[in-house]
Amino acid sequence: MMSVNPFDIRSVLLARHAQHVVLIHFPIALFTAAVAFDYIAQWTKNLKLAAAAYFNLLLVYRPGNTLT
């Protein structure tokens, strides 16, 4: 029986669980951070936080994202 080398870069990048984290959990975290930044920006009138919220939303909704 052949074992998988945990340090093989192909096995790390092509693992199903790694793709799930990047495609599902990371956009959800970015969206949550964008909402938090937007609420704080509205409350404090801080334009830099509003810009951070905007750019987080740009990263969540990118043109090649098949989930949106």
Check whether 54 has a pLDDT greater than 80: yes
What is d(CA 53, CA 61) in angstroms, rounded to the nearest whole number?
A: 12
Each domain of the chain, given as residue ranges in start order, spans: 25-63
Smallest Cα–Cα separation from 56: which of 25, 32, 34?
34
In this prediction the pTM is 0.64
Identify the residue whose tokens are 């750019």.
55
Check whether 65 has a pLDDT greater than 90: no
pLDDT digits (tens, 9 = 90+) for 3-26: 666 666 776 666 666 677 777 788
CA angle 26, 32, 56 (to 5 degrees): 70
